[in-house]
Amino acid sequence: MKKHLTVALALIVTALSLGLPMTATAQTTGDSEKIRAKVQTLSAARDTQVQVKFRDQTKLKGYIESVEPVSFNLRDPKNQTTQSILYSEVESVSKAGGSVSAKTWLIIGGVAAGAVTTWLIVKPAVCDGGAQTRGIC
């Protein structure tokens, strides 16, 4: 009877440990060191806005005020409040607005379209229908 109970208990513990998902993943000290190094690099420029992505996938933007051994302080640009953030809570830190915006792409596209249109209109007028062989013709 004891033998069956021991085997059943061992199977239950094994099934539970394999079947249940981990709710929290432990962060290694190497990850914390990488985050701390990135924060120190970004804190060198005080006027650079950063985006902090937490382990629970929430994001926060602000300016790094100070860097401490286990945490750093982030100032909210809207209401100027400062929040202390532990390195162990952070998944990644990056410059805010690092990608090119849609407005920038529209400006670049407009300039390119203008250049192509100008080339298509100006070249035939300057080249006189292909009769000239000098310059841009």
Question: Could you read off the pLDDT of 79-132 as tens digits, one per residue?
Answer: 989 999 999 899 999 888 756 667 888 899 899 988 888 878 777 777 766 566
Tell me the residue length of the chain. Answer: 137
Element (H, E) at 137: none
We report the CATH number of the domain holding residue 68 as: 2.30.30.100
- Whether 15 is covered by a domain: the verdict is no
Residue-level pLDDT at 118: 82
- Whether 8 is covered by a domain: the verdict is no
116 and 84 in a common domain? no
Average pLDDT over residues 11-17: 74
Answer yes or no: is pLDDT of 24 > 50: no
pLDDT averaged over the chain?
A: 80
114 and 61 in a common domain? no
60 and 42 in a common domain? yes
- Whether 16 is covered by a domain: the verdict is no
33 compared with 135, residue with greater pLDDT: 33
Quickly state the pLDDT bin for 73 (edges 50, 70, 90). very high
φ/ψ region of 128 (left if φ > 0, alpha if ψ in -120 to 50, else beta) reads left
Which two three-digit tokens encode residue 16? Answer: 């539970």
Residue-level pLDDT at 53: 92
